[in-house]
Amino acid sequence: MDVLVVEHPLARARLTTMRDARTDNAAFRAALHELTVMLVYEATRNSPVAEEKVHTPVARTTGYRLENPPLLVPVLRAGLGMADQAHKLIPDAQMGFVGLARDEETLQPTPYMESLPESLAGRPVLVLDPMLATGGSMVYTIRLLTDRGATDVTAVCALAAPEGIKHLADSGLPVRLVTASVDERLNDSGFIVPGLGDAGDRQYGAV
């Protein structure tokens, strides 16, 4: 599986703000928004473009646009904090939604909502979730997508644990990963170490 780690200094600075336990909810959301722009920018670097003619105030020239805008799929809750920024970068993208809560004991994802187009054949998909921990939530989400015919899926995550990357790679699903960091490990509670805590709670408060 292809893994792209975005180590741009500005991305590292945003991730540092997110890691810092003193960062409040508003500042955490702002840093995630900005980091998302950088991750989606890199995730779409090699997307095919279509040419079109454009008239500048001075002359006619060749312009470009995404040939096949992706479906954006934030994984609720935490992925919601990436959705608007990704959509601003790709305004003609459609958006689907998957809602999952990880059981704190078993660490298994429990689905509570799903809103996706019926067919995804031929459509690239960007799945947005700040955290890849055990990888259970991402694998569950990507199976929903491949069941609908998706064959080109990119997981966009602020940070990832090696265990989650292995789970994703071993799943055999057609996915690549774009992340700002591969952290050290998971702890016994399934939290990424050093990580940033719970990305949902840090954006929206504990539930």
Known binding positions for 5-phospho-alpha-D-ribose 1-diphosphate: 77, 102, 129-137, 198
Distances in Å between the alpha carbon of 12 and those of 18, 130, 158, 183, 203?
10, 14, 10, 13, 19
- Applying CB under 6 A, the span of 56-64, 84-92, 126-134, 176-184 interacting with ligand PRP comes to 126-134
Tell me if 183 contacts ligand PRP by CB under 6 A.
Answer: no
Query: Residue 130 has what DSSP assignment?
Result: S
Q: Give Cβ neighbours of residue 20 (< 8 Å, ≥ 6 apart).
A: none
Exactly one of 70, 81, 96, 130 binds ligand PRP (CB under 6 A); which one?
Answer: 130
**Contact call for residues 138 and 128 (beta carbons, < 8 A):** no
**SS3 assignment for 170-204:** HCCCCEEEEECCECCEECCCCCEECCCCCHHHHHH
With respect to ligand PRP, which residue has the nearer C-beta, 120 or 142? Answer: 142
By CB under 6 A, tell whether 165 contacts ligand PRP: no
**Given the complex with ligand PRP, which of 14 and 102 has the nearer CB atom?**
102
131 scored as a contact of ligand PRP (CB under 6 A): yes
Which residues are at the interface with ligand PRP (CB under 6 A)? 75, 77-78, 100-102, 107, 109, 129-138, 164, 190, 198-200
